Chain A
Amino acid sequence: MAGKSSATPTTYSPSLTGQKKKRPSFLTDSDWVRPDGRGPHQCRPAFLRTGAVNSASGSAYAEFGNTKVIVSVYGPRESKKAMMYSDTGRLNCNVSYTTFATPIRGQAPETKDLSSMLHKALEGAIILKSFPKTTVDVFALVLESGGSDLPVITTCASLALADAGIMLYDMVASVSVSSIGKNLLIDPVSEEESYQDGSLMITCMPSRNEVTQMTVTGEWSTPKIHEAMQLCLDACSKLGKIMRSCLKEAASGPQD
């Protein structure tokens, strides 16, 4: 699908402030050569489109390298009768993997975990008071899992919510960083994720400069966390701009 787009693929590689060189040199460990030839601080080109699913209130398709995700948003629609009255809206998230998404058939990770993390990432950005008594359903389907899945799912879900017209405080962009030895690799692929010593994922609202979700695994020293956070936040703000331009294109497109 990416080959059919006429525009050049957009990328959101961050710039590490205070450091001129793009590739940090390592004294002891050998450089990790990335399988797709990217630099350690270079993200995959992002392909984003809205309006992928016609029957949904809003939908989006995202393709980041080999990670392909489609998200559809239904709502606001009536809450189930069993649920109690609530004067704020409700958000219901569901993440599922297709059986052919992973290299080995049916080897999907814990989707309940991913669903609850998606919920937490999005609930800070949605203005729930704008749709009381109703529910917004977000369904994410991972068509191919090529690494850095949850950040792509979150980004795509936020685009789908905007496409559905749900009121948001800001777009939600998400990026993850993998630490392998002394290298910090942004936007890892599945091979790099399997070798990683630690990972840091940030979901933030770029214009408000607010972090809605952050998870860190593995052992990190404080300066390393500082550096990784800077990288992620920089990439998130660039990704936010790309998301906005995608929405603008979609809005101005049909009028031609």
Chain B
Amino acid sequence: MVGLSLGEQNFIKGGIAQDLRTDGRNRLAYRPIFVETGVIPQASGSARVKLGATDVIASVKAELGKPNLSHPDKGKVSIYVDCSPTAEPTFEGRGGEELSAELSSALQRCLLGGKSGAGAGIDLSSLSIVEGKVCWDLYIDGLVVSSDGNVLDALGAAIKAALSNTVIPKVQVAANASSDEQPEVDVSDEEFLQFDTSGVPVIITLTKVGKHYIVDATTEEESQMSSAVSVSINRQGRICGLTKRGGAGLDPSIILDMISVAKHVSEQLINKLDSEIAAAEACDEETEMDC
């Protein structure tokens, strides 16, 4: 990214102070969101989300596995994000590793909840097939294709869309398996279960520039930020995760204020995202019926 001159920096900061950003948006307005589902046919579910020039793809793959010994009645979910060199030339090889690790851990924090499994956006008990022996392992992979700021929000939206697009095959367990043997499971090719995504939260990143907060920052605006707070909020308005990013310190009252602003913005974003996902799914079904 080309460096910004002093004049450009002042222009960005001044615009934000006056509620008029460089692309004409308000401080709390998102860029147009474009959602496309079913982009990866081999995956159990997938979605592509474009937030302005930020482009991310999320894919969900479900495989049979053994549950964790400490939680025998729950399935496993693992989230991993990869930053592709097409987004930034610096991401090639190990350059993007730090950002990938940060995004992966932020997403895990927002979607998987506490260690006991409570408050998770994804209901892990629904992934269990035979308690203690067989469960579904969900591998959620995110790929950053093009990065123009606010990658975390786009990934959160893409994962939500990919999960609503996910179909998990119905499994029949052999009834006469003895208790200590691995039971035989028959994975059905015909029948599928739709994944329940009403509880999956969205992630809202509030970037503090000067004295004001903006939502959905572009790369230029992010370069001027002092700090950012990413809040994950679900449909009921409860906070499912929070990460503060950025080096500068923040007054605690400002963090609480940011949480309430994020809550206010989340209502509109959840509705918008749900309608976009529904439209994408409907579009997907139409193309399927045509062939």
A residues with a Cβ closer than 8 A to B are 110, 112-113, 116, 120, 123-125, 179-180, 193-199, 204-205, 208-222, 225-226, 229, 233
Contact = CB atoms under 8 A, between A and B. Distances in A.
Given A216-B239, A222-B260, A229-B252, 10 more contacts: A113-B101, A124-B248, A212-B247, A216-B241, A217-B241, A218-B118, A219-B113, A219-B239, A220-B119, A222-B259
Contacts of B98: 116
A208 B118 contact: no
Contacts of B87: none
14 contacts: A112-B101, A113-B105, A123-B247, A124-B249, A195-B115, A197-B119, A198-B113, A208-B249, A211-B252, A211-B255, A212-B250, A219-B234, A219-B240, A229-B252
Q: Which 10 A-B pairs have the closest CB atoms?
A: A219-B119, A210-B249, A218-B114, A216-B242, A197-B118, A218-B119, A214-B244, A198-B114, A197-B114, A123-B247
A146 to B, nearest CB: 16
Contact of A222 (B243, B250, B251, B263): B263
Contacts of A125: 249
Nearest to B106: A215
A112 B248 CA distance: 22
A208 to B, nearest CB: 7
Most buried by B among A112, A179, A197, A208: A197
B25 interface: no
A218 B251 contact: no
Contacts of B252: 204, 209, 211, 229, 233
Interface in B235-271: 238-252, 255-256, 259-260, 263
B116 A220 contact: no
B115 to A, nearest CB: 5
A190 to B, nearest CB: 10
B250 A211 contact: yes
B102 interface: yes
Contacts of A214: 229, 242-244, 255
Contacts of A220: 119, 238-240
Contact of A197 (B102, B116, B241): B116
B239 A215 contact: no
Contacts of B251: 209-211
A196 B120 CA distance: 12
A211 B228 CA distance: 12
A193 B115 contact: yes
Contacts of B260: 222
Nearest to B110: A217
Nearest to B104: A113
Contacts of B105: 110, 113
Interface in B108-125: 109, 112-116, 118-119
